[in-house]
Structure 1
Amino acid sequence: MLTFGVEEEFFVVGRDGRLSQAGAAVVEAADEDEGELQQELTRSQAESATGICTTHDEAERQLTTLRAELARTAARRDCRLLPSGCAPLAETSLPAITPNPRYERMSEHFGATARTSHTCGCHVHIAIPDRETGIRVIDHVRPFLPVLLTVTANSAICDGYDTGYASWRYQQWSRWPSAGSPPRFGSLDHYESIVDAWLRAGAILDRAMVYWDVRLSEGQPTVEFRFADVAATPGEAVLFGVLIRGLVGTILAAEGRAANLSNEVLRAQIWRASREGLSGRCPHFRTGELAPASDVLDDVVTFAAGALEETGDLDFVRDGCARLVTGGGGADRQRARFEKRRRAEDVVDLLVW
């Protein structure tokens, strides 16, 4: 059985919903019974990471516990934990960079990109036996990225207004020179040649700054999916994680060549998914034609059903997808709450822990 792990980034906000500078202090004061808590690029953020998981129940328990611990520690500083891809309220100043040599170097080198791209994502790690296998996974999973983005899209409201996007975070994050959809590599050598060229150009400062939507992890034997918004709930984060695990399991069990999907077309398809989210239309992973995102998601579950059943996730995924379609994704819920009074503070109150 493929093992997996989930990382989540959060904003730390004051009682008024605006970004606090207490993120690093919250992380330092929190207890870690299992999993890991980490500081992030800005002082307004905190990050959690599960340990290695084998079941969806295990992952959801860990994510819930980690969120609750961060929220408890934040509350002691009169702050709250906010799972949103972008900060809903407009800020009067840029967030401060966490006093860490690497983060400070990033801020100096990338300027406004580092200072204004304060977004919160959800990253999923899937264990792989070797890096060549990881390249195979990346090449084959590319057509599924648009619909996968709709599952956790959770950043419709940003800077006090409705952005018109389900995942405005994806648009913000894509400003990094190494971010965005990965090309079809074909080989590990091709992957490494691009990373080496980025390093020579100064487009990344180190290999940890390879920000493709799907990449080979540098510190762990995993392929890392890192393009999604932080999910509104732990259950939705786990749904995203085990659905990806099912896709990877299906890909590894199959034969054949990866789809010859150009990166220019894939970028356009992901743009459409970030624009409309789960309640809109999305390019289908087989044809590229627009279809209701909920229908495309249902076809993904069908495609990966064998692997999902083998890991005991099929009913969990079907039920989770049905709840999302019926109740709306994170972006839909953000927008619905905002529309009632046109107050971004209401969106914060909807999401905070």
Structure 2
Amino acid sequence: MSEAQLGTREYLLAATEVDQLTVGVEEEFLLVDEESGRLADRAPDILSDVRRDGHDLQAEIALSQIESASGVCLTMPELRAQLSGARRVLAEEAERHGSRLIATGTPVLGRGSPSALTPLPRYHRMTREFRALIGDLPVCGCHVHVGLPDDEARVLVCNHIRYWLPTLLAISANSPYCNDSDTGYASWRYLMWSRWPSAGAPPWFETASDYYAAREQVIASGAAMDLGMLYWDVRLSAHQPTVEVRVCDVAPTVDDAVLMAALVRGIAATALASGERAPAVPPHLLRPALWRAARDGLEGQGVDLVTGGLAPAADLASALVRWIRPALEVSGDYELVDESLARLVLDGCGAARQRAAFSRTGSLGGVVQFLAEQTRSA
């Protein structure tokens, strides 16, 4: 996409077209002991006692993880209210069980042994099939779903989101610390998760039939046990009529999660309105761009997928907003996105804020305390 296309193209977006694009968000969290700050395998106790108040709260693969899923939303204020409510009830119940809920992609403090798995046959089979990869868990992401009318439209949108995956990762990067050390990356979660054979950026697909064929080949190879284990950074959901974006770290705050949802829906609306095919970025350029985004986050350099050269990640994020601005204005999300991105550029992405907390407190325990307070902030 040229700078002229990003900055000046205008699409005729009917309000009804954008409003029909529903959105939902899944958030994965870590549970840590309130005294030590280390992982605490208390998800079953918390889930058995929590007052759900209509929230969809679920176990994850590790007993030290817990997940919330919003309902189907049409507006960002509606989504924000649901995410905020789920974080509040989970944080309160975690505290009643001597734990803290934290939104970070990787555990800041390590532990002597791997986190125990939720006792389901599926997870034990994963251990048998994928062996030491299970030791990389738990890691926590933010998954954004956008409802779309049919699979051909979903594949069109997946291709467009594929182009912007590095920028979405840079904006969401929130996992600089892992197992008692600074990894030197903004999103260590992304590097850990990319080790899975069915993870990473998907291919560019011509049609939905091509997508189905590739999906079946991955499963036939044993790299994924089933559709749920197709861990591509953006995919057609296995169970919902949605495109699911999985590239992001779990958001530090509710506002950050809402920003990611607005950006993803804006890309989907713009792609549908244009009807144009997305640039087919070759893997040899897209993979380094994702690595660079994971390393630098929003504060450093990203890869310009037009030139192949480096550019400030914040400038690439601004280019995304310029491209989707007509859709954001129709949906009423432009001010939210513009102000949220400006705040991130000023305050830093989640990784930068974690490192700032370490500078203030002088300890990783101080980072964990900061994360617990940030996670439940309204």
Q: Which residue of 2 aligns with 1:219?
A: 239
Shift of 1:286: 4.0
Q: Please, which of 244, 250, 254 is the counterpart of residue 270 of structure 2?
A: 250
Asked if residue 160 in structure 1 is aligned to residue 218 in structure 2, the reply is no
Q: Distance in 1 between matches of 2:247 and 2:276?
A: 26
* Correspondences of 1:257-272 after superposition (within 5 Å): 257-272=277-292
Shift of 1:341: 5.3
Q: Which residue of 2 aligns with 1:183?
A: 203
Q: Which residue of 2 aligns with 1:10?
A: 29
Q: Which residue of 2 aligns with 1:273?
A: 293
Asked if residue 309 in structure 1 is aligned to residue 329 in structure 2, the reply is yes
Unpaired runs of at least 5, structure 1:
none
TM-score w.r.t. structure 1 length?
Answer: 0.97
Query: 1:34·1:62 contact (CA, 8 Å) conserved in 2?
Result: no
Q: Distance in 1 between matches of 2:266 and 2:220?
A: 37
Unpaired runs of at least 5, structure 2:
1-18
Shift of 1:107: 1.8
Q: Please, which of 287, 295, 308 is the counterpart of residue 315 of structure 2?
A: 295
Deviation string, structure 1 residues 13-58 (Cα, Å, up to 9, x no partner): 1011100010122123222233411100000000001001111111
Shift of 1:196: 1.4
Q: Which residue of 2 aligns with 1:325?
A: 345
Shift of 1:296: 1.2
Q: Which residue of 2 aligns with 1:22?
A: 42
Deviation string, structure 1 residues 282-302 (Cα, Å, up to 9, x no partner): 123544432111111111111
1:259 is paired with a residue whose SS is coil
2:297 is paired with a residue whose SS is helix
TM-score w.r.t. structure 2 length?
Answer: 0.91
Which residue identity does 2:300 align to in structure 1? G
Which residue identity does 1:169 align to in structure 2? R
Deviation string, structure 1 residues 259-285 (Cα, Å, up to 9, x no partner): 121122111111001100010011235
Change (3 A) 1:54 1:287: farther
Count of aligned positions: 353
Which deviates the most, 183-192 or 39-48?
183-192
Q: Distance in 1 between matches of 2:85 and 2:280?
A: 42
Q: Distance in 1 between matches of 2:77 and 2:286?
A: 33
Query: 2:56·2:70 contact (CA, 8 Å) conserved in 1?
Result: yes
Query: 1:154·1:329 contact (CA, 8 Å) conserved in 2?
Result: yes
Shift of 1:119: 0.3
Asked if residue 60 in structure 1 is aligned to residue 44 in structure 2, the reply is no
CA RMSD of aligned residues (A): 1.3
Q: Please, which of 88, 108, 112 is the counterpart of residue 92 of structure 1?
A: 112
Which deviates the most, 24-33 or 257-266?
24-33
Q: Distance in 1 between matches of 2:83 and 2:302?
A: 29
2:53 is paired with a residue whose SS is coil
Asked if residue 75 in structure 1 is aligned to residue 95 in structure 2, the reply is yes
Q: Distance in 2 between matches of 1:35 and 1:209?
A: 25
Q: Please, which of 127, 131, 144 is the counterpart of residue 124 of structure 1?
A: 144
Q: Distance in 2 between matches of 1:200 and 1:146?
A: 29
Shift of 1:187: 1.6
Which residue identity does 2:228 align to in structure 1? A
Q: Which residue of 2 aligns with 1:141?
A: 161
1:260 is paired with a residue whose SS is coil
Asked if residue 209 in structure 1 is aligned to residue 252 in structure 2, the reply is no
Q: Which residue of 1 aligns with 2:213?
A: 193
Query: 1:338·1:346 contact (CA, 8 Å) conserved in 2?
Result: yes
Q: Distance in 2 between matches of 1:334 and 1:54?
A: 32
Asked if residue 151 in structure 1 is aligned to residue 175 in structure 2, the reply is no
Shift of 1:190: 1.9
Q: Distance in 2 between matches of 1:194 and 1:143?
A: 19
Which residue identity does 2:83 align to in structure 1? L
